[in-house]
């Protein structure tokens, strides 16, 4: 059997891809809705509108190259085309230092040749107290275990269970959430919140995924760290810097002096 390379756009057009996109879209909408500033950037994955709920005046989508269409004519993209502002390498962003208030990375790090360098570049362009929002596949999940089994069987020559039977996209090096936390800590980021999601088994059809919908509630309660995808919000901290408020002080309104009332008695 010939091994088939599963690309990211093709995978997101499948039933599990749509299931994961729906969960991630809700998380991004909640995370960025109340973040304020002037400039926001999404790096990669035009199938997901990571900034649609944000109200910053300048919001861009940056891609490493022209995003390929999924095979077979199927697409999971929204009907409104994304605002592609630039084609650039995520490890060499054309923005000056401390110029962006928000950067979202939907599965950007795990499909990058040098994810740690991408994070350093994000830290460079973020303003102090700026935020980065990251999503990624969790290798310690049912989906991650099935993907690892497919890679293992492919290496030992079992083609029937090899790369052609991979559940997740073929390319990419999935980064565990604890490894990501270490990287963020080294770059002076502070994790503000994190969560896991998508606890249904690694099924390929919408019918079987829907049958296990109850696992999303059970998994979030009983085994939260084994969700198929993780979601992290981190804030850039600058040591020794203190954010100050306005330099002026509000003037108190002058109160009128008490007036004595004469009483003839």
Task: List the chain domain ranges.
Answer: 8-236
pLDDT at 150: 74
Residue 93 CA to residue 114 CA, distance in Å, equals 14
Top-confidence residue, 196 or 248: 196
**What's the sign of the alpha-carbon dihedral 159, 161, 166, 172?**
negative
Hey, what CATH class is 8-236 in? alpha beta
pLDDT interval class at 106 (50, 70, 90): very high
Q: Where are the beta strands (DSSP E) in 24-89?
A: 39-43, 58-63, 84-87
pLDDT at 264: 61
pTM assigned to the model: 0.80
Residue 131, beta-bridge partner list: 102, 235
Least reliable range by pLDDT among 86-95, 156-165, 171-180, 195-204: 156-165
pLDDT interval class at 28 (50, 70, 90): very high
**What's the sign of the alpha-carbon dihedral 150, 153, 156, 158?**
negative
pLDDT at 173: 80
Share of the chain above pLDDT 70, in %: 75
Helices then strands, counting H and E runs in the chain, come out as 7, 7
pLDDT tens readout for residues 228-264: 999 999 999 987 666 555 555 556 655 555 656 556 6
Burial code (b: 16+ CB inside 10 Å, e: under 16) for 213-246 equals eebbeebeeeeeebbbbbbbbbbbeeeeeeeeee
pLDDT tens readout for residues 140-149: 999 988 888 8
pLDDT tens readout for residues 30-69: 999 999 999 999 998 988 999 999 999 999 999 876 555 5
To 5 degrees, how large is the angle CA 184–CA 186–CA 190? Answer: 45
Residue 127: Cβ within 10 Å count: 17
pLDDT tens readout for residues 162-188: 445 678 887 778 899 999 999 999 999
């Amino acid at each position: 059997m010939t091994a088939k390379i599963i690309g990211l756009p093709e995978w997101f057009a499948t039933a599990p891809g749509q299931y994961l996109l729906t969960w991630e879209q809700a998380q991004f909408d909640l995370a960025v809705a109340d973040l304020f500033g002037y400039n926001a950037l999404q790096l990669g994955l035009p199938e997901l509108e990571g900034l649609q709920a944000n109200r910053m005046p300048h919001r861009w989508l940056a891609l490493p190259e022209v995003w390929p269409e999924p095979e077979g004519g199927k697409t999971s993209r929204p009907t409104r085309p994304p605002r592609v502002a630039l084609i650039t390498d995520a490890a060499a962003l054309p923005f000056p230092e401390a110029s962006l208030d928000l950067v979202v990375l939907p599965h950007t790090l795990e499909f990058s040749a040098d994810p740690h360098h991408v994070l350093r570049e994000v830290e460079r362009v973020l303003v102090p107290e700026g935020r980065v929002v990251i999503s990624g596949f969790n290798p310690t999940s049912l989906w991650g275990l099935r993907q690892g089994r497919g890679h293992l069987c492919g290496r030992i020559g079992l083609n029937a269970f090899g790369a052609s039977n991979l559940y997740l996209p073929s390319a990419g090096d999935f980064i565990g959430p604890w490894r990501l936390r270490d990287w963020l800590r080294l770059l002076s980021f502070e994790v503000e919140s994190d969560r896991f999601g998508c606890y249904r088994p690694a099924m390929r059809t919408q019918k079987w995924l829907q049958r296990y919908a109850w696992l999303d509630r059970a998994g979030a309660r009983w085994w939260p760290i084994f969700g198929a995808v993780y979601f992290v919000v981190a804030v850039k901290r600058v040591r020794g810097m203190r954010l100050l408020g306005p330099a002026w002080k509000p003037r108190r309104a002058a109160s009128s002096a008490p007036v004595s009332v004469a009483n003839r008695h």
